[in-house]
Chains A and B, each alone.
Chain A
Amino acid sequence: MTEVELAALAIVVAAIVGSVSILVTFSLLQSLVEINARVELTVAQEDAGSGIVALMASRAGQRAHAEIIGMLEIAEVNDAAVTQTLGKMGRSLQVYDDNGTAVKEYGDFSGGEYTDIALPGGRKGRAGIS
C-alpha cells in the first residue's frame, strides 16, 4: 500500500469509529437525560372556608349560628358566651351590617375575607371569620 492509500484508509476507519462513537454517546446521553427528565405534577386542592361553613351551620339550641350571628346587632347578646364559643373553636368574628358598619367584633380578625350573612328585615351583611 502506498502512503496515500494508508492515509485514506486511516481516515475512513477514523470516520467509522467516530460515527459509531457519536451514535453510542448520543444514545447513552439521551437515556440519561430521559431518566432525569421528570414532570413534577402537583394537584393542589384548595379547601378554604370549610371552617366557616361548619361554624355557620352548627347549632346552638334550636338556632343555627348563621341566624344567631345575623341577630347580633339587634339582640341582647351574652358577649361572654359568644366569646367563649368562638374561643373554643379557635375563631375570631367581625360582623358588619348592610351599611358596612362593624356592629360586633370578637377577637382579632385579620383574615381580610368576608362572607355574606342574612340580617333581619331583608338585609344582607358581612361576617369576617378567621
Chain B
Amino acid sequence: MKGMGILVMGSALIMVVFVIIMPFVQIFFQPVRGEITNIELRTEAYTMGNALAAAGVYMGSALRFSAYQAMHDTGMQGGWDAIPAGKSFQAGEGSYAIWHNGSDVSPSEDELKASLGKSVAAWLGKYREKGFRFLNDYSVRLPVYSPVLVSEFTGSSFSVSAMPDSRMSIQKGSQDGSTNVLLERTASLQDSFSYPYLELFR
C-alpha cells in the first residue's frame, strides 16, 4: 500500500506541475492573445488641408502682384501686350506706341482688357510654375491659369478673374506605403482693383 500511495502522490504532483506550467507554455506559443498593442494612426489630412488653404492665399496675393505688374507692363506698351505693327515708332533704343496718327489709334477698352489679361496670365504663370511649399514638407500642385479675364472698367475699378485648368491638389503617402491621401481644392481666382486704369489711355 505504501508503494501505491507514493504512486498516487507522484501522479498528483505531475498533474499539479502540468496545471501550473501549461498555461504559460500556451501563452508563449500564442503571444497575440495576451499582447497589449498600442497603435497610433497619425493622419496629416488637416495639415494638408491647411497647405491647400495657404496655397489659395498664396495664389491670391500672386494675382494681385501679377495685376500690378501687368498694369505697369501694359502701360509701358501703350496699352498693348505687344504693340501692333504700324502703331509704334522707334526713339533711341525704345519702341513706343502711337495713339494718334491723324485719327485715334489708341487701344480700345476691349483691346486693353485683352492685353491686360494676357499679361496677368503670364505673370501668374511665373508664380505657379515655382509651385507652393507649406511648412517645408507639403507641396501643392498648382494649376495653369488661362484665360485671365478682365472685367469692364467701371468708374475707377475693375476686376480680374483667373480660370484654372484644374483644381489645386496635394498628395501625400505614408512612409510604409499603406496610406495615400489626395486632397483637392477649387483654384479659381478673382479680385478687384481700384485704379482708374482706363483713364490713363484716354
Residues of A at under 8 Å CB distance from B? 3, 6-7, 10-11, 14-15, 17-18, 21-22, 25-26, 29-30, 33-34, 36-50, 52-53, 56-57, 62-64, 66-67, 70, 112-124
Contacts and interface: CB of A to CB of B under 8 A. Distances in A.
A37 to B, nearest CB: 6
B33 A30 contact: yes
Secondary structure type dominating chain B contacts: helix
Contacts of A21: 15, 19
A7 B7 contact: yes
Given A25-B23, A120-B68, 20 more contacts: A7-B4, A10-B8, A11-B11, A17-B15, A18-B11, A18-B19, A25-B22, A34-B33, A39-B37, A40-B38, A41-B39, A42-B40, A44-B41, A45-B45, A50-B46, A57-B57, A64-B57, A66-B58, A118-B62, A120-B69
Given A3-B3, A10-B7, A64-B61, A122 B69 contact: yes
B15 A18 contact: yes
The 8 closest A-B CB pairs, nearest first, are A18-B15, A122-B126, A14-B11, A49-B50, A118-B62, A66-B61, A47-B46, A33-B34
A21 B183 CA distance: 59
Interface in B14-72: 14-15, 18-19, 22-23, 26-27, 33-47, 50-51, 53-54, 57-62, 64-66, 68-69
B18 A18 contact: yes
B197 interface: no
Contacts of A124: 127, 130
Contacts of B131: 116
A54 to B, nearest CB: 9
Contacts of B41: 41-44
Contact of B15 (A14, A115, A119, A120): A14
Contacts of B65: 67, 70, 118-122
